[in-house]
Amino acid sequence: MGFEVEAGHHEVAPGQHEIDFRYAEALETADNLATFRFVVRNVAYRHGFLATFMPKPIFGQNGSGMHTHQSLFRKGANAFHDPKGKWELSDTALAYIAGLLDGRDELGCLTLASAIGASCVRAIGTTAGVFTRPEADAFLAANRLAVEPI
């Protein structure tokens, strides 16, 4: 398909998988994602299955929360890392996260491609960690209920 898959594994819900692409420039990654979704849907259809990328397609089952891992490099070095910073994050990383939180609603237009998807993300969730969804307008280390888990 023209891009490298670094890893893949089965997730919690039946038929749910995580596929990790190798990083690339933003536009190239967007193209890779569109290609991947198109191929997966068509291969599934040809075999009598339905592939969905909805966040919560089946009530009572874990959702399929598509997420992205983001990085920023400056002169070949990780611009988000500061060994002396809180959680080893640089000031650049903290400002980047603040920008994501500030533009959260606008980013939702891109990341939650349907009204159904957006309403499902808001409607589900327990604090038991079984049906995780963002519940905090914050970034938190090792917490899947934050908008920006780090």
Q: What is the pLDDT of residues 110-121, one digit of tens each?
A: 666 555 555 555
pTM for this prediction: 0.62
Tokens at 18, concatenated: 């995580």
Whole-number pLDDT of residue 83: 96
Whether 61 is in a domain gets the answer no
**pLDDT above 80 (res 144):** no
Q: How many domains does the chain have?
A: 2
The mean of the pLDDT values for the chain is 76
Do 78 and 139 fall within a single domain?
Answer: yes
Cβ contacts of 4 within 8 Å, gap of 6 or more: 21, 22
**pLDDT above 60 (res 56):** yes
Strand 5-10 versus strand 17-21 pairing type: antiparallel
SS3 3: coil
Q: Identify the CA nearest to 93 among candidates 75, 74, 112.
A: 74
Do 90 and 135 fall within a single domain?
Answer: yes
SS3 109: helix
Tokens at 137, concatenated: 């307008």
Tokens at 141, concatenated: 């280390």
For residue 3, give its domain range. Answer: 1-51
Res. 125 pLDDT band, cuts 50 70 90: very low
Do 44 and 76 fall within a single domain?
Answer: no
Strand 146-149 versus strand 77-78 pairing type: unpaired
**28-47: per-residue pLDDT in tens?**
888 888 898 899 999 999 99
C-alpha radius of gyration, the chain, whole number:
17
Whether 132 is in a domain gets the answer yes
Give the mean model confidence (pLDDT) for residues 77-85.
95
Whole-number pLDDT of residue 111: 64
Do 79 and 143 fall within a single domain?
Answer: yes
